């Protein structure tokens, strides 16, 4: 019996303290609910290392808990070898995509970069907005978009 190879997904945002750790957490919950943990490796990273070693933003953690999630990720900066390690490099917005394309070591690596919102099924949005300088509604909006997009990514990655 041939076992399907493990799908490796890296979620990326600017600082790895709001959007990408939330996406990682949501996706991990989805694969746990579908008993698919052995089929995936999931992580997140930031384009800048300013917050490296820090937990997720306390406001994002609070909104995560309100939706039944527990963010345990510790921020890290993306590494060049992440492009070799992961099948999907999932960017939250256009600026993230531009920066990822700039640091991708090869054209093959660039081909792994995808937009998070391309997997949305309910929401028609082009980017996951950064809630860092926003308020309550901004964080809630991000959680809703990420839940939608993570479910879509899970469905597509299972095909």
Q: Which of 13, 18, 120, 150 is catalytic?
A: 13
Q: Which of 57, 93, 130, 148 is catalytic?
A: 130
* 118 catalytic residue (yes or no): no
* 18 catalytic residue (yes or no): no
CA–CA dist 19, 22 (Å, integer): 5
Strands across the sheet containing 113-115 = 40-46, 7-13, 88-91, 113-115
CA–CA dist 159, 157 (Å, integer): 6
* 98 catalytic residue (yes or no): no
Q: Which of 19, 43, 99, 150 is catalytic?
A: 19
For helices 19-33 and 136-157, give the axis angle rounded to 10 degrees.
50
β-partners of residue 74 are 55
- Which residues are catalytically annotated? 13, 19, 130
């Amino acid at each position: 019996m041939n076992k399907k190879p493990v799908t490796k997904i890296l979620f990326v945002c600017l600082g790895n303290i709001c959007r990408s750790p939330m996406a990682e957490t949501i996706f991990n919950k989805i694969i746990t609910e579908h008993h698919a943990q052995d089929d995936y490796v999931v992580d997140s990273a930031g384009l800048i290392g300013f917050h490296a070693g820090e937990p997720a933003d306390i406001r994002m953690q609070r909104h995560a808990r309100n939706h039944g999630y527990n963010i345990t990720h510790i921020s890290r900066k993306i590494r060049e070898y992440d492009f070799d390690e992961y099948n999907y490099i999932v960017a939250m917005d256009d600026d993230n995509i531009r920066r990822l394309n700039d640091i991708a070591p090869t054209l093959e690596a660039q081909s792994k970069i995808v937009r998070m919102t391309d997997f949305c099924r309910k929401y028609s949005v082009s980017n996951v907005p950064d809630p860092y300088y926003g308020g309550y509604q901004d964080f809630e909006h991000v959680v809703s978009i990420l839940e939608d997009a993570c479910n879509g990514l899970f469905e597509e990655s299972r095909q």
